[in-house]
């Protein structure tokens, strides 16, 4: 009888721990859903339509970069008190900074796109050939 009582008590303790763990997991999941909904509201408020569309496209093509951009924007808004509407150009700037890309100037001639540096190189090369 004593062993059965001990066994029943151990079972009750394990069951109580399991229920407590389930409640904590459920509360955590509910909290995550609420936070995600709040973040979505904030982004909808401070992103211009073209920026929101750009971020959605970025989520599909580069999810890690898109997530980092969202974190940066939310940090600016929530912690730094940033209150301006962000446009697509602003998001593109953030993405370029995250990737470590510098500014580029592109020139389109005859349906062909080239970097400005290549264009200048070719122009100087052709100019020096003409002077020879």
Q: Evaluate whether 22 touches 49 at the Cβ level (below 8 Å).
A: no
Question: 10 Å Cβ neighbour count for 55?
Answer: 19
Question: 10 Å Cβ neighbour count for 44?
Answer: 10
Q: Which helix (H) or strand (E) holds 115?
A: strand 112-115
Q: Going residue by residue through the chain (132 aa), what tens digit of pLDDT does each one get?
A: 678 889 999 999 999 999 999 999 999 999 999 999 999 999 899 999 999 999 999 999 999 999 999 999 999 888 888 889 999 999 999 998 888 877 777 777 788 877 777 777 777 777 655 544
Q: Evaluate whether 86 touches 47 at the Cβ level (below 8 Å).
A: yes
């Amino acid at each position: 009888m004593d062993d059965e009582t001990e066994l029943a008590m151990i079972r009750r303790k394990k069951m109580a721990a399991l229920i407590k763990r389930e409640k904590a997991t459920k509360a955590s999941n509910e909290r995550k859903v609420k936070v995600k909904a709040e973040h979505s509201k904030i982004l909808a408020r401070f992103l211009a339509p073209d920026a929101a569309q750009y971020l959605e496209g970025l989520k599909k093509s580069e999810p890690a970069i898109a997530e980092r951009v969202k974190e940066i924007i939310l940090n600016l808004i929530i912690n730094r008190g940033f209150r301006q509407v962000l446009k697509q150009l602003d998001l593109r700037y953030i993405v370029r900074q995250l990737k470590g890309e510098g500014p580029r100037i592109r020139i389109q001639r005859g349906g062909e796109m080239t970097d400005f540096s290549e264009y200048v190189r070719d122009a100087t090369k052709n100019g020096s050939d003409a002077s020879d």
